[in-house]
Amino acid sequence: MPSNPSNPPAIDTATQWLANTLKEEKTNCASLSDNDAKAILQTGLEHGVLSLIHYFITETESPNTCPDALLKKTRQHNLQGVAADLLRHHELEHIIELLNTAGLNFLLMKGGALAHTLYPQPHQRERCDADLLFPDKPSSDKAWEILKNEGYKRGNTLDGDFVGYQFSCSRELRKGLHSSLDIHR
């Protein structure tokens, strides 16, 4: 049955709390039960906002009013996000330097660009890849040669003049942590 815009579906407590927190509306950590905290953690993880929630809890709330589980898990997720983002950022700087040295013109776009311009800290914009836009196929082909020499493996994407204008590639930085790039043209 189609949804009725005048009667939207009910929003669960965890989603509502997350939405209010991200909109920087005053939320009350002290009123959260342990079950609320578990639901907030699960929903926040699903939506990729736990580091951002940690930021808002520690910046706008008195952290000691939040349930222990919520504060500890968001802190742990935040620290892991910082570590992963530092490694990926270092790799991306290296790749950008190689592409610039090769004389390639490109644009860093989407999540990576937003993370460094609109968020308090870049790791708070969770993302799985960096998107680079090249002006044409010869440029993206040259970029691929550079990436291949750096150990990147191409994902299962179709290539051709009429199939698509992007491909994905990645390489493992550390066990379980990858640098993934989407090359667009």
pLDDT tens-digit readout, 4-33: 656 666 678 889 889 988 888 877 788 888
Contact (CB, 8 A) for 98 and 150: yes
pLDDT tens-digit readout, 54-94: 988 888 766 678 888 899 999 999 999 999 999 999 999 99
Contact (CB, 8 A) for 128 and 48: no
Higher pLDDT, 128 or 36: 36
The predicted model gives 34-59 an average pLDDT of 91
Contact (CB, 8 A) for 81 and 121: no
Higher pLDDT, 9 or 177: 177
The predicted model gives 27-54 an average pLDDT of 90
The predicted model gives 41-56 an average pLDDT of 92
Retrieve residue 57's tokens.
């809890």
Query: Which amino acid does the sequence have at 183?
Result: I
d(CA 32, CA 123) in angstroms, rounded, equals 26
Contact (CB, 8 A) for 75 and 54: yes
